[in-house]
């Protein structure tokens, strides 16, 4: 899923400050699951903002609403009347959702309440691990199901650097050395060849270095 | 004489510029080059420049992560890895080709080095990684600083059994210790290094820690000299460069000609 975390309150208050009527818009998909921008978090942030406004003696109206997905036109289209009634929309979706809302309501101030962090999965309650960079050229079938681009701090493709020790990455002892994990997986599967063979320089043009990416669905017929 | 490339990701004088200045002084340097700060375009351009300035020896490294340095918020590059760097420079030299395949008129005539760390994990892969580096183009190897001589020998034996020591010049890394505190710091805080307790105890019990550090370094160089498959040593007296000749002389290394 796409993982996000709420921006610091100071930043949120600064964004909200010029506005009097704000729609706090939650997203029911990824950010609900990662406890950052779903209906529950909308409720919490709305209460915090109201309390703050009251303390400051400021006239602030907060509307709360959560839609299924902010990254699809159909869902974002449904909130038209709600958006018309406010000065600004504070989106609690990932950056994709924020941008679609901004695209569909260009006359409104659209404010991001979250920092979109990465694509990953939970490793324990409240902790998520980055697993995919969306590089556009997957090698997981070769690398034992562990992504070296994402999980090696240097995105190395030819094995661990000299800083790998006791299974840990040199940059932080809380981070696993991806290559240690890859090595063990490939070894247990008798597939160390991939690691022992030279891997040429990556083609990063699919990874965003070729400019903003666009994906067009083409149906492929397999003979 | 190794010239580091913004080691520990702290901004320093460019390794190529410093190496060129050494050449002007009649000293033949090894210019280090990392893939942390440059993509394949910048690296190839810098290598052509280095060769034009008379630099011959290039040590190909991935580079310390910028997290350790004085610009931890920088974006790193890692377009290619150190293995790709070796292959790319080898192809420039031997095939007169850039990484993209385009031909060049005049090739950089380089002697290519790579790092090897027998103290990093997984240990069994370290010999295989050495083989990969030789295959990719390494003419010489510089090892990480050696304190655990047994582990280094185990790695060297495996490399020799694989026929690798005949294909490459291996330089053993020696870093003299200044104190027991420094030894403990390296053991606990520097990733990829091993300092056995016996070394820490020696440093702790010595009346003169610095003298003991030099003594250990001299003993290490002497041990390395005896090992089949070791072609030389790389003494890294960090911020203690004046001690290099003392260690070299103490270990009975032949005095080099030319400026000290």
Residues in chain A closer than 8 A to B81 (CB atoms): 154-158
CB-hemisphere CA count at 13 Å for A109? 16
CA atoms within 13 A on the CB side of B242: 1
Residues of chain B with pLDDT > 70, as a percent, come to 98
**Which residues, other chains included, contact B172 with Cβ-Cβ below 8 Å and sequence gap of 6+?**
B143, B146, B152, B220, B221, B224, B227, B230, B232, B233, B234
Q: Which of B36, B87, B115 sits opposite A162 (nearest CB)?
A: B115
CA neighbor of A81 nearest in space, from A52, A50, A100, A105: A105
Reported CATH class of domain A2-117: alpha beta
DSSP letter at B100 equals T
CA distance B60 to B76: 17
Please write the tens of the pLDDT for every residue from B244-255. Answer: 999 999 999 987
Which pLDDT tens digit goes with each residue over B95-137? Answer: 999 999 999 999 999 999 999 999 999 999 999 999 999 999 9
Which chain B residues have any C-beta within 8 angstroms of a chain A C-beta?
36, 40, 62-65, 67-68, 76, 78-84, 87-88, 99, 115-117, 119-122, 125, 128-129, 131-132, 135-136, 144, 191-192
Q: Is the alpha carbon torsion for A56, A57, A59, A62 positive or negative?
A: positive
DSSP letter at B83 equals H
Where are chain A's structural domains?
2-117, 133-199
CB-count exposure of residue A184 (10 Å: 0-12, 13-18, 19+): middle
pLDDT for the residue numbered B260: 42
Cα–Cα distance measured from residue B92 to residue B82, given in angstroms and rounded to the nearest whole number = 15
Side-chain half-sphere exposure of A104, counting CA atoms within 13 A? 21
Q: What is the pLDDT of residue B255?
A: 76
Tokens encoding B47: 């290598």
Predicted pLDDT at A73: 97
Burial B96-114 (b: 16+ CB within 10 A, else e): eebbeeeeeeebbebbbbb
What confidence tier does A217 reach under pLDDT thresholds 50, 70, 90?
Answer: very high
B168 to chain A, minimum CA–CA distance in Å?
18
Taking CB atoms and an 8 Å limit, are A162 and B144 in contact across chains? yes
Q: Which domains does chain B have, with CATH numbers?
A: 2-176+226-242 (3.20.20.220)
A97: region left, alpha or beta (phi > 0 left; psi from -120 to 50 alpha): alpha
* CA distances to A197, B126, B138, B164, B170 from B167, in Å: 18, 16, 9, 5, 10
pLDDT value at position A222?
Answer: 85
Task: Choose among B99, B125, B131: nearest Cβ to A201.
Answer: B99
Q: Is the sign of the CA dihedral B175, B177, B182, B184 positive or negative? A: positive
Which H/E stretch holds residue A66?
strand A61-67
Query: Interface pTM (ipTM) of the complex?
Result: 0.94
Read off the pLDDT of residues B72-92 as tens digits, 9 standing for 90 and up: 999 999 999 999 999 999 999
Q: Per residue in B132-165, pLDDT tens?
A: 999 999 999 999 999 999 999 999 999 999 999 9
């Amino acid at each position: 899923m796409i993982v996000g975390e709420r921006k610091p309150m100071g930043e949120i208050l600064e964004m909200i400050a010029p506005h009097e009527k704000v729609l706090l818009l939650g997203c029911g998909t990824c950010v609900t699951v990662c406890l950052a921008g779903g209906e529950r978090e909308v409720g919490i942030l709305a209460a915090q903002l109201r309390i703050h406004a009251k303390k400051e003696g400021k006239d602030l109206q907060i509307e709360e609403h959560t839609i299924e997905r902010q990254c699809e036109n159909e869902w974002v289209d449904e909130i038209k009347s709600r958006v018309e009634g406010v000065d600004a929309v504070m989106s609690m979706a990932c950056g994709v959702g924020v941008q679609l809302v901004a695209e569909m309501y260009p006359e409104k101030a659209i404010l991001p309440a979250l920092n979109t962090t990465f694509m990953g999965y939970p490793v324990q309650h409240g902790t998520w691990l980055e697993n995919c960079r969306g590089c556009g050229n997957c090698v997981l079938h070769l690398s034992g199901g562990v992504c070296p681009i994402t999980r090696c701090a240097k995105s190395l493709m030819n094995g661990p650097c000299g800083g790998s020790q006791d299974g840990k990455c040199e940059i932080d002892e809380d981070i696993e050395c991806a290559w240690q994990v890859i090595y063990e997986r490939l070894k247990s599967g008798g597939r160390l060849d991939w690691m022992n063979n030279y891997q040429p320089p990556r083609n990063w043009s699919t990874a965003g270095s070729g400019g903003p990416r666009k994906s067009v669905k083409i149906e492929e017929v397999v003979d | 004489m190794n010239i580091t490339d913004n080691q520990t990701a702290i901004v320093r004088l460019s390794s190529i510029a410093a190496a060129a200045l050494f050449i002007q002084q009649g000293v033949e340097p090894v210019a280090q080059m990392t893939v942390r700060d440059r993509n394949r375009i910048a690296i190839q351009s810098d290598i052509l420049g280095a060769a034009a300035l008379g630099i011959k020896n290039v040590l190909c490294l991935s580079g310390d992560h910028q997290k350790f340095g004085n610009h931890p918020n920088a974006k790193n590059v890692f377009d290619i890895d150190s293995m790709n760097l070796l292959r790319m420079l080898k192809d420039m030299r031997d095939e007169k080709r850039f990484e993209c395949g385009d031909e060049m008129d005049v090739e950089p005539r380089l002697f290519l080095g790579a790092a090897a760390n027998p103290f990093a994990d997984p240990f069994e892969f370290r010999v295989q990684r050495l083989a990969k580096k030789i295959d990719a183009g390494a003419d010489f190897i510089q090892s990480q600083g050696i304190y655990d001589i047994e582990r280094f020998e185990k790695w060297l034996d495996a490399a020799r059994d694989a026929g690798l020591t005949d294909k490459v010049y291996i330089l053993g890394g020696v870093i003299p210790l200044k104190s027991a505190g420094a030894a403990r710091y390296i053991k606990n805080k520097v990733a990829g290094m091993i300092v056995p307790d016996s070394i820490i105890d020696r440093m702790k019990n010595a009346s003169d820690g610095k003298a003991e550090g030099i003594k250990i370094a001299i003993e290490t160089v002497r041990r390395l000299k005896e090992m089949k498959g070791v072609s030389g040593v790389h003494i890294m007296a960090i911020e203690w460069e004046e001690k290099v000749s003392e260690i070299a002389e103490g270990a009975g290394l032949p005095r080099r000609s030319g400026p000290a």
